[in-house]
């Protein structure tokens, strides 16, 4: 099974850049999108749904903001929009789809770059999503959580760790949360395959950062440890340029 997670920073703009055709050409089994910045009725996905993809949305109440979308070749057995916490659910940040005995969580973690209020919101989300998933694991032991985590975990995941040591997305408390997350029974799919490889998933639009590969790895596919041996490949599709992010790819030995 081929799964990608991709922050599109606006799905309508990405479609104009050929994103939907690119999905079809690559024949992915599951496509998880973050930052759709649109309502379902504002987007024509017929080229994908006509090709057999099932589309499930969780959009923000605020127009043109946040939102997640999961596309899958097989219909999920169960879909849940949100995590049951209003302040996150009204921003369209968590979408759950169940396939047989495993669960996929498509998540868009908040950014704290706009100031202290949103940084505090981000830290609240980290605590609450940890508790949410811990509770979910009691009934659903096989979980994949993909998305834009908005955190670079280690110095290998950011091109300039020294100058960004106190920047949102690389703060010590955020990195500590990532370590706790991966110590709690989850595996970073990319690091499972590539222990030391340097690849990034996001580049600022400033200073020609992408051309110079001055990026951050802030998009992840986490799988519970009971599934880690099923991971066959994981890497970044850096040639896809529909966004300031690139897709994160995982091939895993699962069936719908």
Query: Looking at the annotation, which residues are catalytic?
Result: 148
- Burial (CB < 10 A; 0-12, 13-18, 19+), residue 116, is exposed
Contact 49, 123 (CB under 8 A): no
* Three-class DSSP labels, the chain: CEEEEEECCCHHHHHHCCHHHHHHHHCCCEEEEECCCCCHHHCCCHHHHCCCCEEEEECCCCCCCCCEEEEECCCCCEEEECCCCHHHHCCCCEEEEEECCEEEEEEECCCCCCCHHHHHHHHHHHHHHHHHHHHHCCCCCEEEEEEECCCCCCHHHECCCCCCCCCCCCCHHHHHHHHHHHHCCEEEHHHHHCCCCCCCCECCCHHHCCCCCCCECCEEEEEEHHHHHHEEEEEECCCCCCCCECCEEEEECCCC
What CA–CA distance (Å, rounded) separates 18 from 91?
Answer: 26
Among positive and negative, which fits the CA dihedral 169, 170, 173, 177?
positive
């Amino acid at each position: 099974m081929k799964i990608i997670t991709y922050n599109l920073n606006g799905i309508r703009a990405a479609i104009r850049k050929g994103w939907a055709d690119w999905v079809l050409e690559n024949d992915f089994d599951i496509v998880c999108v973050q930052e759709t910045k649109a309502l379902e009725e504002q987007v024509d996905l017929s080229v994908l749904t006509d090709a057999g993809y099932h589309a499930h949305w969780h959009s923000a109440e605020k127009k043109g903001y946040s939102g997640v979308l999961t596309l899958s070749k097989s219909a999920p057995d169960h879909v849940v929009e949100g995590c049951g916490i209003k302040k996150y659910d009204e921003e369209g940040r968590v979408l759950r789809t169940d396939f047989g005995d495993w669960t996929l969580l498509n998540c868009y973690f908040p950014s704290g770059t706009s100031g202290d209020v949103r940084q505090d919101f981000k830290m609240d989300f980290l605590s609450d999503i940890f508790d949410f998933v811990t509770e979910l694991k009691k009934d659903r032991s096989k979980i994949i959580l993909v998305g834009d985590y908005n955190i670079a975990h280690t110095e290998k995941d950011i091109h300039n760790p020294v100058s960004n040591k106190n920047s949102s997305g690389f703060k010590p408390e955020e990195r500590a949360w990532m370590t706790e997350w991966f110590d709690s029974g989850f595996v970073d799919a990319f690091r499972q395959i590539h222990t030391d490889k340097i690849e990034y998933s996001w580049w600022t639009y400033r200073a020609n950062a992408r051309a110079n590969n001055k990026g951050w790895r802030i998009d992840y596919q986490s799988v519970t440890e009971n599934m880690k041996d099923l991971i066959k490949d994981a890497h970044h599709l850096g040639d896809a340029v529909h966004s300031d992010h690139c897709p994160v790819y995982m091939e895993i030995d699962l069936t719908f």
